[in-house]
Amino acid sequence: MKRKSGEKMALLRTGRPPCVGAGRTGHAFPAEGESGEVRKGDAGGGAKRLARLTSPAAARLVLVLVLALLSVASGLPGQARRARAGSLSGWKFCVDAGHGGAESGAVGPTGLLEKDVNLVVARKLRDLLVAEGAEVLMTREDDSTVSITQRWQMANAWEADRFISIHHNAMENAPSVNGTETLVYTYAGQESLELANSVQAELVAEFGLPNRGIVRRSDVGVLKNTNMPAILTEASFISNPEQERLLRDEAYLAREAAAIMRGIRLPSSVTFIYPRRNRVSFGEVQVSLQLLGNDSIERVDLYLEDKLLFSRSAAPYDFLLDTSQMEDGTHALKALVRYAGGGTASASRDLIVANDARNWYFAEGTTRRGFEEWLTVLNPNLQEAEISVTYAFDNGQTLQRDYRVAEESRLSIDVNREVGPDRDLSLMVSSTLPVVVERPMYFLYKGSWDGGHVSGGTTSPSETWFFAEGYTGPGFEEWLCLLNPQDQPAVARVEYLSQEGLLLLDELVLPPRRRVTVDVNRRVGPDREVSMRVTADRPIVAERPVYFLYHGRYAGGHVACGAAQAASRWYFAEGYTGPGFEEWLCLLNPQPEPNLVRITYQTSDGKNLQDEELVPPHSRRTVDVNLRAGRDLQLSVVVEGEKPLVAERVIYHDYHQWCRGGDVVTGVRETSRHWYFAEGYTGPGFEDWLCLQNPGGEDVEAEITLHFESGEVLQEKVRLPGRSRTTLYLNSMSPYQEGMAISVHASGGITAERPVYFRYRGAWAGEHTSAGYSPDQ
């Protein structure tokens, strides 16, 4: 089958002015179907590298129209279907009749079209499901053309519980071949596998055809991109002459539908309805379960991190869980159903708690001449978020502005326009829902050093902050910005640490709800490699901006929000030692004893290179990654100390002789399955990349979602090899030229970074990088 992609909509971008830039070569997403055997007209994959999801509002409109057509075509109004009682009451099935319209699928020896057989079986299966009380969405009711992308979009938008795709097989020049097989996605979960095995067993038992088993495929779009357990049946081979004759018999096709139905009903199973998959939670969270099967239920147990929370012996299986006292992070929910006959069924769901993500703080900010400051906000929720931004000026005045961020969307705020020119300020953001916030700034520093930097801020003020990087040599100007968000004064102590140990100790008084800026060059003197430890008697926020002319050629700036604690392990997803790039690791040992640090460089081709560095007490060391790891490597880094330490990674570059600058990132302490980035732009003059590090030994699957300011949502899944790093070129994924945010959800623990190279307004060239936000940090 020739694959089709959904249409791309050209949208005008609002916000930042258009830029002019050059292109960059690199890794893009592989097109679906580039791997995997296709024996006949293909059953699945879409040709688009990034599948377009409808915007939330558009999705609701499409769904209403689809359901209206379904009600008319089936003669069973939606309310009537929902009202019917049965063993499948409350369950939602998307039934997909493969091919259709211009896509005939396989063709039998005498001309029988697979698309027609698929539709008959799908209709009969629909009627059986409805008779048992289920709700059913058909991807097509007649001989119409429906793209692969549209099929899984419909299922996802409708939030189906199961996806069943009906197909019939064929093999060219092999008329004697026959048999039954059921397809699942290569990385299918346990529920998909159980459903496939059950349906496969029933089809084989019904017709006695050769059992070709469960087939895993990575190139079938309706299996890869659906968000629910999904299978694709290939009950028999239409290319077999005798089988083609049987497939013309409606009674035979009714037996096929009945066998699939028995397979659907056979496994007793449980599924989470709430919390939603890959959605952040806060406060009081609803947990709801759906149970499938005819076995008598003894009780249903709900566990959190293996601790029993609730036990219930009768429906409804709904629970309320208070997360307000839980630590932010990914927690494991498990539902265990115990049956009277002794059997069990279980399901798991990530509970992503992000209570702290309703408040964000940024110490640095200015709208002086030559500076343009922005605030970008990602709302990953399924409802609108209301946010309030407090602009705290260095003179003690404040300004509050309120904004709304649409569901699954991103908002850009022009800070210069909001507060006016020539203001030094900090930012405090509060939200009704968990959101993700970043602060990009573009500048022409001192009238000649052009560039930009981005900060992810912090959700939690702290009494301790560490900075591993710092330099006051020629061409470098370093600053320390300290914000006191409290209503009372705070006293802060700043320890400046060099390779020789403690250089200087400062004590500062921070007025309430104001920021204080320290000129580090002036405090410690010239030609110092300096780290800092900041402590305060109240929780504060600390950022360290650095502006530079590196080697007298690479102008720019970078900024880091400090690390609130030392840790024994740090991860960095991004890294490159190719031509024009110089990469450094800065290691701060705040301990009173020496610290042996082990460094692992994980390259894009799966190699793992080992290194060591001994860092003296209360001191810092700088590692030349180009020298130690080697040239021309795309790499991620794992830093492990015998004792807790702090690590930052600095890169200076001449990017394609188009963009000179540098960036800095404080590492992340933990891997996570969930990462978020508020900033991103793929318009002219901007090149966005996503670096994904999988430090574990097993391959994992990652789901990448782009959230655009227009409300459009794009999604793709990629495989991440173990102990390796994968680089994705986001410009190749996006058909739009507008601001976007990014969320990444993986089947295992990973880290992520988003480098952006730019020529802002066609003139200010540079790069900034973010390590993203995860509630697990």
Quickly list DSSP for 333-402. Answer: EEEEEEETTS-EEEEEEEEEE-GGGGEEEE---B--TTEEEEEEEEE-SSS-EEEEEEEEETTS-EEEEE
Instruction: Round to whole Å and give the CA distance between 395 and 760.
Output: 30
* pLDDT over 90 (residue 280): yes
User: Cα dist. 90→84, 337, 345, 474 in Å?
Assistant: 9, 18, 18, 69
pLDDT in the model for residue 13: 24
pTM of the predicted model over 0.95 = no
pLDDT in the model for residue 734: 87
Instruction: Round to whole Å and give the CA distance between 302 and 346.
Output: 10
Are the beta carbons of 14 and 709 closer than 8 angstroms? yes
Q: Residue range 672-683: average pLDDT?
A: 96
Q: Residue range 467-480: average pLDDT?
A: 97
Q: Which residues are 773's β-sheet partners?
A: 676
Q: How confident is the model over 313-371, as pLDDT tens digits?
A: 988 899 999 999 999 999 999 999 999 888 888 889 999 999 999 999 999 999 999 99
Are the beta carbons of 367 and 401 closer than 8 angstroms? no
* pLDDT over 90 (residue 472): yes
Buried b (16+ CB within 10 A) or exposed e, 114-127: bbbbbbbbbbbbbe
Q: Residue range 457-471: average pLDDT?
A: 98
For residue 404 the two structure tokens come to 């709304």
CATH superfamily of 55-267: Zn-dependent exopeptidases (3.40.630.40)
pLDDT in the model for residue 294: 66
* pLDDT over 50 (residue 189): yes
Amino acid at 135: E
Residues with Cβ within 8 Å of residue 753, at least 6 apart in sequence: 572, 573, 574, 665, 690, 691, 769, 770, 771, 772
Are the beta carbons of 588 and 531 closer than 8 angstroms? yes
Instruction: Round to whole Å and give the CA distance between 469 and 665.
Output: 10
* pLDDT over 50 (residue 522): yes
Instruction: Round to whole Å and give the CA distance between 269 and 619.
Output: 57
Q: Residue range 128-154: average pLDDT?
A: 95
Q: Residue range 640-667: average pLDDT?
A: 95
Instruction: Round to whole Å and give the CA distance between 459 and 777.
Output: 11
Q: How confident is the model over 60-103, as pLDDT tens digits?
A: 334 433 433 333 333 332 322 222 235 788 889 999 999 999 99
| Third-level CATH fold of 270-353 | Immunoglobulin-like (2.60.40)
pLDDT in the model for residue 11: 23
CB neighbour class for 208 (10 Å; exposed up to 12, middle 13-18, buried from 19): exposed
Averaged confidence pLDDT in the chain: 88
Q: Residue range 590-613: average pLDDT?
A: 96
* pLDDT over 70 (residue 451): yes
Instruction: Round to whole Å and give the CA distance between 311 and 299.
Output: 7
pLDDT in the model for residue 459: 98
Instruction: Round to whole Å and give the CA distance between 114 and 32.
Output: 23
Q: State the angle between helix axes of 114-131 and 250-265 in degrees (0 to 180), rounded to the nearest 10.
A: 50
Residue 291 banded pLDDT, cuts 50, 70, 90: confident
Chain mean position to CA 446: 38
Give the residue range(s) of CATH 3.40.630.40 domains in the chain: 55-267
Give the residue range(s) of CATH 2.60.40.10 domains in the chain: 270-353
* pLDDT over 60 (residue 3): no
Are the beta carbons of 363 and 320 closer than 8 angstroms? no
Instruction: Round to whole Å and give the CA distance between 717 and 389.
Output: 34
Q: Residue range 496-523: average pLDDT?
A: 95
User: Cα dist. 166→88, 115, 194, 244, 534 in Å?
Assistant: 20, 9, 17, 16, 63
Instruction: Round to whole Å and give the CA distance between 414 and 711.
Output: 19
For the chain, what percent of residues have pLDDT higher than 70?
A: 88
Give the closest residue to 514 by CA, choosing from 370, 699, 684, 363: 363
Regarding beta strands 554-561 and 531-550, do their DSSP bridges make them parallel or antiparallel, or are they unpaired?
antiparallel
Instruction: Round to whole Å and give the CA distance between 127 and 76.
Output: 10
Q: Which residues are 739's β-sheet partners?
A: 681
